[in-house]
Amino acid sequence: MTPIPPAGRTLILGGVRSGKSRFAEGLALGSGLPVIYFATARAGDAAMGERIAEHQRRRPTDWCLVEEPLALADRLAAAAAPGRCCLVECLTLWLTNLLLEVDAARIEREIAALLSVVECAPGHVILVGNESNMGVTPLGELSRRYCDLAGGLHQQLAERCARVILVVAGLPLMVKGTAA
């Protein structure tokens, strides 16, 4: 039997450019709590740099920013607190960063650590990820591993979250929990 997840946990999934980030930012803003924004992206090229800049322009200036491409669980554990909202953007970029690391075993340790932190972190936690498993199975080994890891992570996080929301074309679809 899965324990009842804490009310302050929300997982938001959607495709690329689905509106999931804007929706998550709106939830964080609407919480009325101080927000810590965990950015996991690395600007590896000009297009990604522009995406990062777009997110920066949208964020309120009073939000605290933590840029962490790898050790997300440690940083989230240190920052989560009652009366605070932590917004993680984005889980799947974080997984990509870990997949590209030299230490192949690190990804399993980091996933386990994140699951543990999400399970017991005080305050509100909003997690954003790309739903990448709604199409054909990728041909390449690395791409298949990424999709398997992302799918498994999302399932395990969904068990630990009170709300799971799928965003499609900017519209939130409640998968688990209630809107309030």
What pLDDT shows up at residue 1? 39
Q: Are 76 and 84 in contact (CB under 8 A)?
A: no
| 124 flagged as catalytic | no
* Catalytic member of 55, 106, 145, 176: 55
Cα gap 8→91, rounded to integer Å: 18
Give the tens place of pLDDT for each residue, 104-142: 899 999 999 999 999 999 999 999 999 988 877 888 998
pTM score, whole prediction: 0.92
CATH fold of 9-176 reads Rossmann fold (3.40.50)
pLDDT tens track for 21-55: 999 999 999 999 999 999 998 877 777 778 778 87
Q: What percent of the chain has pLDDT over 90?
A: 73
| Annotated domain spans of the chain | 9-176
